[in-house]
Structure formats: structure tokens, C-alpha cells
Structure 1
Amino acid sequence: MNYHIAVAVIWAAVFVESRKIRGISLSYKRFYKERKSFLCIDGSKLIPFEQVNDDYCDCADGSDEPGTAACPNGHFYCTNLGFRPHYIQSSRVNDGICDCCDGSDEYNSSAHCQNTCRNLGQRERAELEERMRRLNEGLLMKRQLVEEGADVWREKQAELSDLQKVAEDLQIRLEYLRKRKTEAEALKEEALAAAHPPPPPGQEGPRSPIRAEISLEGHGQPMQDTDILIDTDTRLQQWMDSAEKREESPNEPEVRDAGTEDDPDVKAAVEAAKSAVADLKKSEEAYQRLQMEIRELEDRLAIDYGPEREFLFLLGRCFQITAYEYAYTICPFNQVTQKSQAGTEVLLGKWDAWGGPPENPYGMMKYDRGEPCWQGPTRSTHVRLTCGADSAVRWVKEPSKCHYAMELQTPVACRPQPPSRRGVHSEL
């Protein structure tokens, strides 16, 4: 008789001990040491200790029922030895579904839960090791790319300095050519004036061939008025035809005064003026192109390429992926496009700025000011950057109308992980 009583007492003690600690993590175990009373963790209420885990919610914070589903705001702690421990909502305790990999949440249900924590832990650790391997490879590659980027940066700076020096020299040449053009045109006017001096005072100038009286050859009789009109129209048309030819060949010097074509001084002056105009025009065009190239290079050098300019590696490169019957192309720091099978290309956004969170501002690229959607907003794209041993677009999608999302994997996005995130808790 005494033996059975002793066994019953021991069983009851074990039952009470298991009941009171079920669903509790080690960090909270101190609150559940067996006493005559239990103080709710929020301090709102003091209850008899027997009411802990009795399947009735007494505390407002649900702390008296960590191992049951009685409190709607309570949490159950999955120990999950061999895998990651975590909390689940108390409402999922004994609901017939195995939420904890060790099956501890279904201690009083019809569910037959197998303990899969060890397999899950092994799989997660293998995945973590693979991620760490890729991270180490990416970090090694990133260091090489940072060094290459530093060389590219120095080359771009030297290129800009050279272009600015060329621009200064070209500006001096432009001043010289403008002066030369002015002098050449002045000499041309002097040559024309010398070839055709003004008539002495009182002397009539030559008669206009259009308004002069024209005699019929062999007849010695003046032409009739109608004949004069016909002849005038013919000459006017010939002049107009000649003017059209001059307009089609703007480089041909326009000489309206008769007899100047054979004057060597006039021809030399006209050719000199023509050469001066052409040289000035050519140099002005070259200066404009040079200034445009300088502005583009200055804009590129003004971009934030990261703390070590590591993202300079992506400048001038483009990456493509095919999805949903479209070819998507991203050219970092430039633009994102979408091309259909028919060959129609649509701009999905131009480079705008970095858009990552404060802890990793270089984790997201923003591309705005794309082509407008039909009855929708202007297209834009956000590109998420992730660590990888090579550079490639992993996926693309359209989470909302005319707004696109991409993931670009690249070594320059690799960052050393904090020590706290490198391991997996396999034991408690």
C-alpha cells in the first residue's frame, strides 16, 4: 500500500513539473519556480501556482498559460533541440498540426508528430555553410574588383583632366579662328570693292540687261512689249535656277558681280574667307562634342559608387534575363529596359539613386522616369543587390502596375556578416 502511494506521489510530482515548465524557454524559467503563488509577468495579478498551465487564462498577458491554448495572446516555446528554437501562437497548441519540429506543441492531441529537428538542423547548417562559402568567394572577388575599380577611377580622373586641357587649347584656337574669319571676310570685301570701283560722279551706270532695249538680230527693229516681257521672265527664271543651285551647294562662294570669277585677287580672297569659315565651323562642332563628353564624364564621376567605390565595377556593364516572354536588361547607373519578342523596347526607368535601408543603403538601386503606362503611372524599377560569386540577374517581377522589381547578384554587394548571424543554435 505504501509502495503504491509513493509511486503515485512521484508520478504526480513529475506531472506537475512537466506541466508547469511546458512552453517555457530557459530565460523565462526563473518566473516559474514552484511557489505557493504565481505573479503574472506583467505584474498585473497574483494567482495560486496551481493555476499555471491549468488551461484557463488568468493573466492579461497570458503568462500563466505558456503550455496551453487558453490565452489568445499567449505564446508557446518550441525547444527544437538540434534545430532553431522559436515561439508559436498559443492557439496552435494541440490543434492537430505539428508546428514544432520536436512535436512538443501537440502533447495532448491526436496528431502523431515525428521529431525532425535533427534533419532540419543538418540541412540548415549545410545551407549556411554553402552560403558562407559563396560569401567568402564573393568577398575575395570583391576585393579584387575594388582594386580594379580604383584603377578605373584614376583612369577616368586622368581622362577628364586631359579633356579639360584639350578644351582649354581648343578655346584658344577658336578665338584665333574667329579673328581669322573676321579678317578674311574684310579682305574679301576689299578685293570685291577694288575689282568694282564706284563710277565717277555724274556717269551713268551700265544699263540693266533686263530693262534695256533689245534689238532683234538681223532686223534692226525694236522688240515688241510682249517680247520684252517674255525675255524678262526667261532671264528671271534662269536667275532663280542659279540661286537654287547655290543653295544646294552652300560651300560654293556666291559671286554676283560679273567678271570677278577671273580676278585672281578676288578668287584668293573668297577662297581664304571660305576656308576660314569652314575651319571655324569644324572647330566649334568639335568643341561642342568635347564639352558634351566632359559633362558626361563629370556626371559619371559624381555618382556614389559605395564606400570603396566597389560598385564602379558595374559601370558600363549590362545584364539580361528572359521572363514572361520579355527580355529585361539592366545597365547599372544607366537604365532598365524591357524588350518584347516583336522587338519593341520599353524604358522601365533611368538611374535615380540608392534606395536601401539605413543599415545597408547600397542594397537597393532605384530607377525612375521610365515610359508612362497606358492609363497608369510612369514606369519605375527597384533592383535589389545580393551577394554572389558572379554577376547576374536572378529574377524579375511586376509586384504592382508599372512598378518592377529585380534581383541582381554580384560580388560587390557582399558584406561581412555580424558574428551573431553566422551560426545556428543547435542546442539550448
Structure 2
Amino acid sequence: DKRYGDASFTCDGGKLIIPSAQVNDDYCDCEDGTDEPGTSACATGTFYCENTLHKPMVIPSNRVHDGICDCCDGSDEASGCEDICDKIGQVARAEAERVAKVQHMGYQMKLIMISEVADAKKKVADTIVQLKQDLYDHEEERTRLQAVLDEVKAVKQAEEAAAAEKEEVADEQAPSDDGDDASDDSAEKAATTDADSDDEDFFDDEDEADADEVPQEDIKLTIRDLEKQVREHRYKKSPLEVELRKLEKQLDADIDYGENEEWFKLSLECLKHKAEGDTFEYELCPFDQVKQTPGNINLGKTFEWSGGPETDENPLGQYSEMTYTDGQQCWKGPPRSTTIRVLCDITTRIENVNEPNKCVYSMDLYTPLACTEPVERPDEHESGDEIIHDEI
């Protein structure tokens, strides 16, 4: 700084002026510590590392001359530090180039995904219509079969009741003594025959009436077959209802899918991750829930964006982080919850699952949707061999 070369040095916001000879004399004269940038005399002072061929940095003055090389050019120590800025600078520049390529490719993929949102939402809406129709058809058929089953059961009950009545009449008319006259026996047989004939006529008429009401092909089915079909239609409805609720939730207007609704694409699939050697597998269904298997343990089912305000360091703003709360209750602990960092990459996946605190989980979600539009710096296309120190 120019002020370090003057005859006097001003510090503490202009409140104190000291001779330049007292700068870097290993004694802290200024409260703000600016008079000792090259020593560790001031606890609040700072030291500037130029780090040529790499990135400049500022460290606390108390780390100067402490025997540890903090600056890659070794300027914070009088001796013993090798200048490795060029070496680590090459690595950093290569990584920065890789990140820039991923950012560029990811952003192009993001634009394509945004262009597909309208069709994706229409497809979900069409699927919802079809699911509702399928559910209606299953319910209609189940209701029809149940009605047939009820009628078949009623006919069977009527037949059983008639048979029981005939048996009761026969028992009442049976001879009570072996010595009864033959004429009495004949009369009873005749009466029984007439009664049977009347009963048969009655039930024949009833069967004909039932046959008119119930289709013959359905009458042929046994009660067991009908009951089985009724159950099957009831069971088939259950997964359809689950899928319907899921799709209707995806189209919920209260879910924030972003300015261009780009994040809607994430809601269309669940992502799984199982680290090598890990017992557990983790599944993230964006905007719905996080699960751990085996055990089907819910790690959070109430979603919200939690990334904070948009800044230069956080261009995604609130969309840089997801939080899922209200998971399964932890034994002697809080309900499980999961915090997810949202990071730019050309593939969509989850990684780095951890449990930093009891029943509090974290993971990283990589997706092109997190890639922001690359910002071209003015110095990127300058000619010449000048080294740019802020390339990271």
C-alpha cells in the first residue's frame, strides 16, 4: 500500500498518526492492527499474501512468523517456506477450468429441461385423467359384480330355505306308527306327492323369475369366483389411488418449482444412493420425502427451500438447499430430518450422505438445474501473458 512508504503512517480511521519507522516493528501501535501487517504483534491485524501465480489471500497477523507456512509463496515466514504457488496454481486452474466446463454444459442442459416442462406437466395431467378413468371402471365393475354376487347369494338362500321347508313338511307327514292302515299310508303319499308337485311348480316359477333378472353367464359363476373378482377389483384400485395422489401432489400449485418451473423436472423421479460397504440405501423423492432402507425409515416428509437469499456467492438463492422435516421419530431423540445441498453437475444424483447429528441427515444433490448462466469476466479474453490472480 502507498501509505506504508510515507514518512508517517495513519491508522485507526485517521485518529492516530505514527512514524513509518514504527510500522512492522513488532509492536502494535494502532488499535486496528494495520501498523503490523508483517508481524504477529497485533491480534486484530492482517497480513496480505501476494501469492504470485496463484490466488492472493489475507491471513491474521498472529499467523505471521509462527513457523507454519500459510502463504503459498512463503512470505508469512522469514525462512523455511518453499514457494509452491505455481504448483498449486496449476492444479487450481485445471479444477477451475473443469468447473467452468461443467457449469457451461449443465446450463445448456438446464435450458433444454426448462423447454420440456410444459410437456412434462401435460403428460402428468393426462396420466391423472387416465388413472381416474381406470379407477371409475374398476369401481363400476366391482359394483356390478357385487350386485350379481348378492343376487346369487339370495337365490341360494331361497333354495336352501325351500329345501329346509320341504324337509320339515315331509317329517310332519311321515307315519308315526307301523300299524297304520294302508289306505292312510296311500293318502299320505298322495298328499305328499301333491305338495311336492306344488313346491316344484313354485320354485320353478321363482327360478325363472331370478333367471330373468340375473344374466345366465353370471349365474354360472360360483359364489367363490364372484367374491374373488370383487376382491381383485378392490385390490387393483389401491395402487392406482396411491399413484393418483402422488401425481396430483406434483401439480400442487403451492409447490415452488422456480421462476420457470424448472425444478418440476426433479419431481418426476426418485433418486437412490448406497455407498460402497454401507448397509443402508437412501432414496430422495424430491418435494415428497427422504427414506432409508432397510426398515423403510422416513427421514423427512415436509419439504421447503432453505438456501437463503441470492448473493454473488450463492447465485441460486433459496434453491441452493432443500430441507425435509417431520420424519420418523428417533428413539430418545427428535423426529428425523434431512438437509440437502443442491449443486451443479451434468448428471442428476445424490451423494455424500451423512448423519452429522443424531437423526439429522445431510446429503448432496447434483443436477443440471443447479447450474447458473456462466458469467464471462472481462479479463477472460485479454491477450498477453499477464497472470490473472483471481481465476478461482
Question: What TM-score results when the alignment is normalised by the length of structure 2?
Answer: 0.69
User: What are the superposed Cα offsets for residues 88-132 of structure 1, whole Å, 9 maximum, x if unpaired?
Assistant: 11111111221111111113xxx3211111222221111100111
Provide the secondary structure at the position in 2 that maps to 1:357: coil
Counterpart position of 2:72: 101
How far the C-alpha of 1:154 sits from its partner, in A, is 2.0
> Are 1:70 and 2:41 matched, yes or no?
yes
> Are 1:298 and 2:244 matched, yes or no?
no
Q: Tell me, in whole angstroms, the C-alpha distance in 2 between the residues paired with 1:130 and 1:48.
A: 49
Q: Tell me, in whole angstroms, the C-alpha distance in 1 between the residues paired with 2:356 and 2:136.
A: 53
Q: Tell me if the contact between 2:104 and 2:374 (Cα under 8 Å) persists in the aligned partners.
A: no
Gapped runs of 5+ residues in structure 2?
Answer: 159-165, 181-198, 219-225, 311-316, 381-386
Distance of aligned partners of 1:99 and 1:358 in 2 relative to their CA distance in 1, 3 Å threshold? same
Q: 1:426 aligns with which of 370, 376, 389?
A: 389
Summarize the alignment of residues 15-414 of structure 1 with structure 2, pairs less than 5 Å apart: 29-35=1-7, 37-107=8-78, 111-160=79-128, 166=133, 216=176, 218=178, 261-263=203-205, 264=207, 266-268=209-211, 271=214, 294-302=244-252, 303-314=255-266, 315-322=268-275, 325-333=278-286, 334-339=288-293, 343-350=294-301, 352-359=303-310, 360-414=317-371
Q: Tell me, in whole angstroms, the C-alpha distance in 2 between the residues paired with 1:213 and 1:323.
A: 85
Distance of aligned partners of 1:150 and 1:94 in 2 relative to their CA distance in 1, 3 Å threshold? same
User: What are the superposed Cα offsets for residues 328-354 of structure 1, whole Å, 9 maximum, x if unpaired?
Assistant: 232322433323xxx544332335232
| 409-418 or 84-93: bigger deviation | 409-418
User: What are the superposed Cα offsets for residues 186-235 of structure 1, whole Å, 9 maximum, x if unpaired?
Assistant: xx9xxx9xxxxxxxxxxxxx9x8699697535356xxxxxxxxxxxxxxx
Question: What TM-score results when the alignment is normalised by the length of structure 1?
Answer: 0.64
Provide the secondary structure at the position in 2 that maps to 1:42: helix
**RMSD of Structure 2 on Structure 1 (CA):** 4.4
Q: Tell me, in whole angstroms, the C-alpha distance in 2 between the residues paired with 1:101 and 1:410.
A: 34
Q: Tell me, in whole angstroms, the C-alpha distance in 2 between the residues paired with 1:427 and 1:267.
A: 91
Provide the secondary structure at the position in 2 that maps to 1:311: helix
How far the C-alpha of 1:85 sits from its partner, in A, is 0.8
Provide the secondary structure at the position in 2 that maps to 1:99: coil
* Partner amino acid, structure 2, of 1:304: D
Distance of aligned partners of 1:58 and 1:113 in 2 relative to their CA distance in 1, 3 Å threshold? same
User: What are the superposed Cα offsets for residues 314-335 of structure 1, whole Å, 9 maximum, x if unpaired?
Assistant: 3223322225632323232243
Distance of aligned partners of 1:213 and 1:161 in 2 relative to their CA distance in 1, 3 Å threshold? closer
Q: Tell me, in whole angstroms, the C-alpha distance in 1 between the residues paired with 2:43 and 2:65.
A: 14
How far the C-alpha of 1:300 sits from its partner, in A, is 1.2
Gapped runs of 5+ residues in structure 1?
Answer: 1-28, 193-205, 221-256
Distance of aligned partners of 1:211 and 1:414 in 2 relative to their CA distance in 1, 3 Å threshold? same
Give the number of aligned pairs: 333
User: What are the superposed Cα offsets for residues 289-318 of structure 1, whole Å, 9 maximum, x if unpaired?
Assistant: 877665443211114333333333332233
Q: Tell me if the contact between 1:318 and 1:330 (Cα under 8 Å) persists in the aligned partners.
A: yes
Distance of aligned partners of 1:310 and 1:326 in 2 relative to their CA distance in 1, 3 Å threshold? farther
Q: Tell me, in whole angstroms, the C-alpha distance in 2 between the residues paired with 1:73 and 1:371.
A: 47
Provide the secondary structure at the position in 2 that maps to 1:87: strand
Q: Tell me if the contact between 1:31 and 1:41 (Cα under 8 Å) persists in the aligned partners.
A: no
Q: Tell me if the contact between 1:332 and 1:351 (Cα under 8 Å) persists in the aligned partners.
A: no
Distance of aligned partners of 1:42 and 1:291 in 2 relative to their CA distance in 1, 3 Å threshold? same
Distance of aligned partners of 1:374 and 1:43 in 2 relative to their CA distance in 1, 3 Å threshold? same
User: What are the superposed Cα offsets for residues 267-304 of structure 1, whole Å, 9 maximum, x if unpaired?
Assistant: 246638xx8xx9xx89x969998776654432111143
Bigger-Rg structure (1/2): 1
Q: Tell me, in whole angstroms, the C-alpha distance in 1 between the residues paired with 2:114 and 2:203.
A: 67
Distance of aligned partners of 1:356 and 1:209 in 2 relative to their CA distance in 1, 3 Å threshold? farther
Q: Tell me, in whole angstroms, the C-alpha distance in 1 between the residues paired with 2:101 and 2:111.
A: 16
User: What are the superposed Cα offsets for residues 232-267 of structure 1, whole Å, 9 maximum, x if unpaired?
Assistant: xxxxxxxxxxxxxxxxxxxxxxxxx99764224542
How far the C-alpha of 1:425 sits from its partner, in A, is 4.1
Q: Tell me if the contact between 1:399 and 1:405 (Cα under 8 Å) persists in the aligned partners.
A: yes
Distance of aligned partners of 1:287 and 1:425 in 2 relative to their CA distance in 1, 3 Å threshold? same
Q: Tell me, in whole angstroms, the C-alpha distance in 1 between the residues paired with 2:136 and 2:66.
A: 84
Q: Tell me if the contact between 1:76 and 1:89 (Cα under 8 Å) persists in the aligned partners.
A: yes
Distance of aligned partners of 1:326 and 1:288 in 2 relative to their CA distance in 1, 3 Å threshold? closer
Q: Tell me if the contact between 1:389 and 1:411 (Cα under 8 Å) persists in the aligned partners.
A: yes
Q: Tell me, in whole angstroms, the C-alpha distance in 2 between the residues paired with 1:212 and 1:421.
A: 114
Counterpart position of 2:223: none
